[in-house]
Amino acid sequence: MSRLDIQHGVVEMAHGSGGRVSATLIDELFIRHFDNALLKQGNDSAQFEAPAGRMVMSTDAHVVSPLFFPGGDIGSLSVHGTINDVAMSGAKPLYLSASFILEEGFALAELESIVISMAAASREAGVPVITGDTKVVERGKGDGVFISTTGIGVVPDNVQISGDRAEAGDLILISGYIGDHGTAILSSREGLEFATTIVSDSAALHGLVAAMVEAAPEIHCLRDPTRGGLATTLNELSRQSAVGMQIREADIPVRAEVRGACELLGLDPLYIANEGKLVCICPAQSAEALLNVMQNYPLGSDAAIIGEVVSDNAHLVTMKTRFGGQRVVDWLAGEQLPRIC
């Protein structure tokens, strides 16, 4: 069988044909790097023993421009994103699947570095990619590579985490600095490049979640504030739980660099995406202990209590500003766009 010319080659339509060329790509790129026994079964599906208990399943499509950004790339992001979605139910993630949509002409060398980064993220997280698929679309019909990942996991018996469980009196925690990922992406986007030290916070949070649910199985809600940022996540949870929320700007961790970049671009860090942060809502009496657990874990070292759940028929999120004022933190009407005035 011909070997793949990773150094100079590009993705060709034949790589998605299902024929010999496809098999070479799968063997020499995907199986080689993802390297695990379940994947090597070589069947259309991976077979494994199901653990006892409640299973969770989540899927996420990843389209990001640019593909490589400070602090990560689409590969590591596609692993972290899905692991985090599974973990936000309190579950221990077990396995991932990955499907790739490749654009004809995409450099195999770039594809390989994405797969290597993805494999490293999956190994580090201890959550293997055990099945996958590859399709190729004609040049101009994709954006290099799209990666869709699905994850499954199992929830500990005593854990009942759901977005509809926030109650008036609960406290709201965030696991660290907000806005890093979105700002890092913006800083490297074509036409908008600016020099910054900000890197994406892309990370798998299941370890942090495991420590949290062990210490406080009574946690009511967990959610990772990705697209739309902290503001959108809090609005989603308010609506789902039919409550209001009151947060304090002074307690929300935002790096000076992120504040500066947002100030310059006319954006609000509350609405900027994160890929390695979680919002936790728990009964007030558990909050301090939980905060300690989070702060003792590397990915939660900058965790903070940022506000509380209140009863409110309008399900509004309001914020006491650092300045001493009060404002509504509303849903975005559309996508967040830089302002000219």
Partner 1 sequence: MKYVDEFRDGEKARRIAALIEQEVEADRDYRLMEFCGGHTHAIFRFGLHALMPSNLKYVHGPGCPVCVLPAGRIEAAIQLVEAEKLILCTYADLMRVPAGKRDSLHRAKARGADIRMVYSVNDALAIARNNPEQQVVFFAIGFETTTPPTAVAIQIAQAEGLKNFLVYCNHVQTPPAMSHLLASGEVSINGILGPSHVSTIIGSDAYADCCNNHHIPIVIAGFEPLDVMQSTLLLVRQINAGRCEVENQYSRAVTPDGNRKAQALMANVFEQRPLFEWRGLGALPDSAIQIRSEYADFDAEKRFAITDIATADIKGCICPAVLRGLNDPDECKLFATACTPEEPKGACMVSSEGACAAHYSYGRFKSETGA
* CA atoms within 13 A of residue 328's CA, in its CB half-sphere: 10
Query: Any contact of residue 319 with partner 1 (CB under 8 A)?
Result: yes
Residue type, 329: V
Radius of gyration of the chain (CA): 21
Q: In this chain, which stretch among 102-110, 118-126, 202-210, 319-327 interacts with partner 1, using CB under 8 A?
A: 319-327
Nearest distance in Å: CB 139, partner 1:
17
Nearest distance in Å: CB 270, partner 1:
10
Mask 160-199, x = binds partner 1 (CB under 8 A)?
-------------------------------xx-------
Residue 117: which of 178, 46, 197, 29 has the closest Cα?
29
A 10 A CB-CB count for 177 gives 20
> Considering only residues 244, 251, 252, 280, which one is a binding residue for partner 1 as defined by CB under 8 A?
244
Q: In this chain, which stretch among 2-10, 29-37, 173-181, 254-262 interacts with partner 1, using CB under 8 A?
A: 254-262
Map the footprint of partner 1 across residues 297-316, applying CB under 8 A.
312-314, 316
Rounded alpha-carbon distances, angstroms, from residue 224 to 17, 45, 106, 190, 278: 37, 29, 31, 27, 4
Cβ atoms of 194 and 261 within 8 Å: the answer is: yes
Map the footprint of partner 1 across residues 60-119, applying CB under 8 A.
none
- DSSP run (H or E) holding 104: none
- The two structure tokens encoding residue 98: 């990955």
> Considering only residues 268, 283, 295, 302, which one is a binding residue for partner 1 as defined by CB under 8 A?
268
Residue ranges in contact with partner 1 by CB under 8 A: 191-192, 244, 256, 259-260, 263, 265, 268, 312-314, 316, 319-328, 330, 333-335, 337-341
